[in-house]
Structures are given as structure tokens and as C-alpha cells.
Amino acid sequence: MLLLAVFVSVSLLSINVKAIENANPQTEQRIRQLSEKLRCLVCQNQSLADSNAELAQDLRQQLREQVAAGRSDDAILDYLVQRYGDFVLYEPPFKATTVLLWIGPFVLLAAAALVLVATLRRRRRVPEEPALGPEDRRLVERVLGPAVPPERDGSAR
């Protein structure tokens, strides 16, 4: 019985939320556009519009309330930036505090390219054969025999 009561109350709440969401198509479109400009603070790789996290639902409700209160899009975005910082914006502005977000990927790409070039150059270098000292040469000749240059006339095959 308790399970049935919980199911019914959750169903009624979801119907209520859907009724609020579908109240005005223009308002919902505006809220959707705003939420696509904002990052989910929990998921971080999703927009607020795409996230199903509880915090994202709360933030979308805040957007709904502020739109209903008649605030402009810029005022709503400014409010959220003041509250959560530039990170809440899916495309943060280019300024001193966000320069790493904008330039960081290019710096990492350049560093990776330099490492790749250095590695390829190191592999391409032909290692120098170490010079044999007189004692080493005598040992080689004793083991292999005297160094006789191969004949080029083709008779020594």
C-alpha cells in the first residue's frame, strides 16, 4: 500500500512539472535556449538542457521562475555567473580568469607536437658505431680472423 501511495504521488508530481513546462511554448523555447548556454555543474560535459541531474533540474526551475518574473536573458545569465562563476557558462568569455580554458588546449597540442617531433628526430638519427680501440681490434681479429675486404669481382660467393 505504501508503495502504491509513493507511486501515485510521484506520478502526480511529474504530471505537475510537465504541465508547468508545457504552459507557454515561447517561454519554454526561451528557457531551452538559455539552458543550452549553461553548463550542468554536476555533469560538466553536458548543457543544462541535456542534463538529468537533480541540480540541473533545480537550475532549470530557477530559469523558469526568473523568466516568469520578467527578467531579461542577460540579467538571468549575469545572476547565474555571479552565483556559480564563469564555469556555469558553456562558452565562458575570454578574460584573465578564463584564459587557460581558451588557450590551454592549444598549448597542450603544441607541447604534444614538440614531443612527437623530438621523438621522431631521435629515432631517425643513426647511432654512431663506437670506435674500437687497438686491444678490441686484436680481440676481434683473433676471433673472426684478419679483416679481408670482400672481392668485388664476384668470385667469393
Could you list the residue range(s) of the whole structural domain that residue 102 is in?
A: 94-126
pTM for this entry: 0.53
The answer on 88 and 103 residing in a single domain is: no
Unique residue bearing C-alpha cell 683473433: 142
Tell me the per-residue pLDDT of 76-102, one tens digit each, with 9 for 90 and over: 999 999 998 888 888 888 888 878 878
Tell me the per-residue pLDDT of 19-32, one tens digit each, with 9 for 90 and over: 455 568 888 899 99
Q: For residue 109, tell me if it sits in a domain.
A: yes
- Distance separating alpha carbons of residues 39 and 74, to the nearest angstrom: 16
The answer on 75 and 116 residing in a single domain is: no
The answer on 101 and 75 residing in a single domain is: no
Q: For residue 144, tell me if it sits in a domain.
A: no
Q: How many CB atoms lie within 10 A of CB 67?
A: 19
C-alpha separations of 26 from 56, 64, 121 in Å? 21, 12, 60
Residue 141 exposure: Cα atoms within 13 Å on the Cβ side = 10
The answer on 104 and 63 residing in a single domain is: no
